[in-house]
Structure formats: structure tokens, C-alpha cells
Structure 1
Amino acid sequence: MEELIFQIKKFLPIYLEEENQEYIDYLTGASLANMESKHFQFAFIAFHMLFMSYLYKKLFLLHKHGKITLKDNYNTIFDISKMKESDVFNNIHHFHSNKIDEFKNTVKIRNHCAHSSGFIQYQQEDVEYWIKKEIDHVNKIQYKAYDNYLVNEFKNFLKNEENYDPNRLESLYFEKIERFILENLISVKDLEFFLKNPKLNELSRNSNTEKIIYIKLLYLAIIAVYEKYVLDQYYCEPDIEEGLFIKNLPILMNGFVNPEDDDFNLEDIFKDQFSTYLEPMDVEHIIKIEKITDFDLSDFK
């Protein structure tokens, strides 16, 4: 049951402002605690609020990127909560009205749990069924209503010199990526979608210019952030195979030609930018990276 609750968190933003993150953690904890204490209807209420938080995020981003037009201005995803629940569902595009009605049905179940009916209507198996139903709804909404705006945001981020050129950075790649993830409300599922379908021509080109090399380094840093976050935060299996960083590392060395810049040293840049990722890594993986790159990473063993 715990795994089901963490599944929906993979669709919610990885990073939120502190107050909003506390709220999501509160709902997660409430759902888990009520499951453990066998207060299953209360567990569903908290889970349903996580489900609605996902819908708020979806509508907020669709509105932000001009895919739908909402009447009011919304500054955060939780401002959408001021909207009537029926309007929230009705604004989910790409679906037949019958399917929208199916999505809405879990609101009735939530109401059954929240209103004082005088009896306990749902037991564990019932609540598990409806939680799985909401996760199924989220999966359908995530991928059928998926727009190119997020892929374009990733591509624009990777191609922005202010993000990829270490000489212009005031921080490491990882801090830039975390800020990008926060500002764009990116979830683990969003990261997985992009990493499976990057559609970035620079990744298949030879590493023979600083620009191409830097873009590849930044892309690898996104993979590193994904791996670190999933391994640190989630108890369920990631949807992308483990070792994605090492699997993709050869693209960096593909056709590598050292740029005509006396100050350019790929090994030093790599060790500097990826030090926090490499430090906790086991020796076996460090050796694999050395074999692929021919870098001396003895400091990380």
C-alpha cells in the first residue's frame, strides 16, 4: 500500500517551495499513517488530495503554456484549488466527456468518506481499489494530455549558454538543474519521459566543439540528478533502468576532439561538475567510468 502512495508522488513536482512541500509531505504522511492505523477512509481522503494536487499542477502548466485558457490568474498550482472541482476536471483536454465523468467519480467516493454517514462504508480492499483507480487516471492524463512544451523547456534549458558553460556559471550544473526543476514544477515522471525521448540532435553529434561537449555534460548532469533523486527519495522501482548515467556516458566521448582552447580540460571540468555525484559512488562504478572516459578518477575511489 505504501508503494501506491509513493507512486503518485512521482507525478508531483520534485521540488516545491517550502510551504507547499510541507503540505505534500503532510498529506503523504497522513495517508500512510491512516493506512497503518486501519483508518482507511481517512487514508483515501488524504490520497485524493494528492490526486487533486496533481490535477492542479497539470492545469496550471497547461494554462501557463497557453494550451488552455482559465478565467482567473493563478500564481501557484494550489491557487487552482479555488476553482470548482467539476471545472478542474472539465478543463482536462484530449478526453471524451464520458472519460471526464469517470475521472470525476472518485470525488463521490471522497465525499462518501468525508461526510458523516453514520457507518464505515469502505474497507482496505475498497480503498486500495479507488487509490489504484486514481493512479490509473493520473497515468492516462499524464501521457494523453502530454504536450511538447515540457520537452521544449528541457531543450531550451540545455541549449542556453548560461546554463551549460562552466565559465559563466556561479554554481555547479546540479544547482542550475534543481532550480530549473523547481521553476517548471517537473516531476520524476516528467524527467523519465524526457530522458527516454530527449530528441536533441546535439547528443548524437561528435564531441568536437565546446558547445556540443557542454550540452552533453549538462544532459548527463540531468541524468545524475534523476538517479540521485529516485534512489534517495523513492521506495518503488524507477521506470528507467539503473545505471542510466554510465550507459549514456559514451555520448560524451563519441568523436571527442579537444577544442582549440588552452584552458579547456574535459577531465577537470567533469571532475569539478560531477564531484558530488561521484563521491558516494562505489569503486566498481568509478572504474567503469574511467574505462569509458580514460579519466583518472582515483580521488573518488
Structure 2
Amino acid sequence: MDAALEIHDYLPLAYPSASEGEYIRFVWDSFESNYASGKYQFAVLAFHMLYMSYVYFSVWQIKGASPEAFTHAVLFQQKEKELLTASSPFTFSEVNERGIFKFLRLAGCENQHIGQFQKLVDQRNEIAHPNGNIFFSDQSTADQRIEEVMQQIRAIQSHMTPVLHRCLLQFVRNSANPDEREIEDVAVHVEMNFLHKHYLSRKDIEACLVCDLGDFEQSPFRAEVHALMQALTARLDE
């Protein structure tokens, strides 16, 4: 169970809508209760749902950071319209699960990485149907699968830093001038227009904080840029 807690570092700190946060908490509670009661197969299924949610959040960040490249990647795919007009990461659930991983190529993941990510979907499919088999009947096998999932999440996250830096630089450019912001309060602005917009996790924020902002050092809004970054840093202490 302790190993599974790591996934929270990769899931958003805050959500644009209460229902999205409630959904993630519901899935985690389902995992936790099934794990605690020894129903490991159902616990693994719930953990896989958290894993796919993480993947959707990552693809959403790619979409926001590189909209033109994302649009080109979507062309001629099934569910093209749903992908292009997605209103939240959860819209990606309408796309074939194996197919959604292909968009991670835009973050630098290669075919061998994509194949490894897709294997977890194939393995999940084996246990999600009434085939008479209990694949996870003890804590040891469940913990092994949880670690396999976390390895894949760490692997995806390792490719996301350039994506997150593009999101941050775009945000700072659009936010440096306080007279052009709709929200005056810096902390609220960061929350609503950066964390919520990109579904940022603790790991995402840590990656953003090492972004080179040297181009803003000569900006007349340098102090505002520093204030934005301080507000972002403060979210890690909450």
C-alpha cells in the first residue's frame, strides 16, 4: 500500500471542477478499500484507472504545449473530432486506450517505450473480463503490478520536462504584465490559469521550477515573474 501512495505525486494538486477531483478520490478509495480487504484483483483494476488518468493528464499537457503538433498527430485518426475539441483530459477516455499512448511520441517517447506502456493495457484487459481466472490473489503479486505501473509512470514523467517548460514559458509570457491579467491576485491566478489549466501535479511543478527563465531577467516585469514563480513554489509546501 505504501508504494501505491507515490502515485499522488503524479496526479494533479487541484482540478478545474469539483467532480473531477471527486472522481480521482473515488477511484483511489476503491483501490484502497479493495486492497485492504484482500480483493487485490479489483484493487489492481482501480490502480490502472489512476494510471490511465495520469496518461490523459500528460497528453493534455502535450496538447496545450504543442497544439500544432498535436493537431497534425490527430489528423485521420479515429475520434479525431473528440481529440481536437476535448474539453478536459477525461475526454480522451473516448479514444482507444492503446492508441492514446501514441501521442506520447510528441514528448520524445520512442516506439519501444510506447509498446511497454501499451502492455499494461493488454494485461489489464486480461483481468477485466469474466474469464474465471484470479490473476492477483495475494498482496505480493498485487504489489508487483503496482510497482510495474509506477515504473511506467516514472518513465513517462521523465520525458515530460520539455513539455512542462513550454507550458510554463507560455504562461509567464501571458502573465508577466499584471495589467493584462483577468485575476489580480498572483496566487489565485497561478491556481486558476496554470495549475488548473494544465492539471499539474507535484512532480510537474518540481519540473517547472528548474526551467530557465533567464530571458525574463531584463524584462520590466521581472518582479512579477518572480512573484509568479514564488506562488508556484508555495504550492509544494501546502
Q: TM-score range by the shorter chain?
A: 0.7 to 0.9
In structure 1, the residue matched to 2:152 is 137
Instruction: Pick from 187, 190, 201 the counterpart of residue 187 of structure 1.
Output: 201
Q: How does 1:104-119 map to 2 (within 5 A)?
A: 104-119=118-133
Equivalent residues of 1:174, 1:221 under 8 A apart = yes
- Pair 1:173–1:187, CA change in 2 (3 A): same
Instruction: Pick from 209, 215, 234 the counterpart of residue 225 of structure 2.
Output: 215
Moved over 6 A (4+): 202-205
Q: CA RMSD in A?
A: 2.6
Unaligned 5+ runs, structure 1: 229-301
In structure 1, the residue matched to 2:103 is 91
Q: State the TM-score, normalized to the length of structure 1.
A: 0.65
1:78 CA displacement: 0.9
Q: How does 1:1-301 map to 2 (within 5 A)?
A: 1=1, 3-16=2-15, 17-64=17-64, 65-66=66-67, 67-68=69-70, 69-70=73-74, 71-72=80-81, 73=84, 74-93=86-105, 94-122=108-136, 123-144=138-159, 146=160, 148-159=162-173, 160-163=175-178, 171-179=184-192, 180-195=194-209, 197-201=210-214, 211-228=221-238
Task: Output the CA distance in 1 between the equivalents of 2:143 and 2:61.
Answer: 29
Aligned residue-pair number: 220
Task: Output the CA distance in 1 between the equivalents of 2:36 and 2:10.
Answer: 23
- Pair 1:155–1:113, CA change in 2 (3 A): same
- Pair 1:214–1:92, CA change in 2 (3 A): closer
CA offsets per residue over residues 251-289 of structure 1, 9 Å max, x none? xxxxxxxxxxxxxxxxxxxxxxxxxxxxxxxxxxxxxxx
Task: Output the CA distance in 2 between the equivalents of 1:190 and 1:60.
Answer: 13
Equivalent residues of 2:127, 2:133 under 8 A apart = no
Equivalent residues of 1:162, 1:169 under 8 A apart = no
- Pair 1:61–1:158, CA change in 2 (3 A): closer
Higher fraction of helix: 2
Q: State the TM-score, normalized to the length of structure 2.
A: 0.81
- Pair 1:198–1:61, CA change in 2 (3 A): closer
Unaligned 5+ runs, structure 2: 75-79
1:182 CA displacement: 0.3
Task: Output the CA distance in 2 between the equivalents of 1:213 and 1:98.
Answer: 44
In structure 2, the residue matched to 1:260 is none
1:76 CA displacement: 1.3
- Pair 1:203–1:36, CA change in 2 (3 A): farther
Q: Which has the larger radius of gyration?
A: 1
Task: Output the CA distance in 2 between the equivalents of 1:85 and 1:198.
Answer: 31
1:36 CA displacement: 0.7
Equivalent residues of 1:86, 1:104 under 8 A apart = yes
Task: Output the CA distance in 1 between the equivalents of 2:228 and 2:122.
Answer: 46
Equivalent residues of 2:61, 2:167 under 8 A apart = no
Equivalent residues of 2:48, 2:124 under 8 A apart = yes
The percent identity for this pair of structures is 24
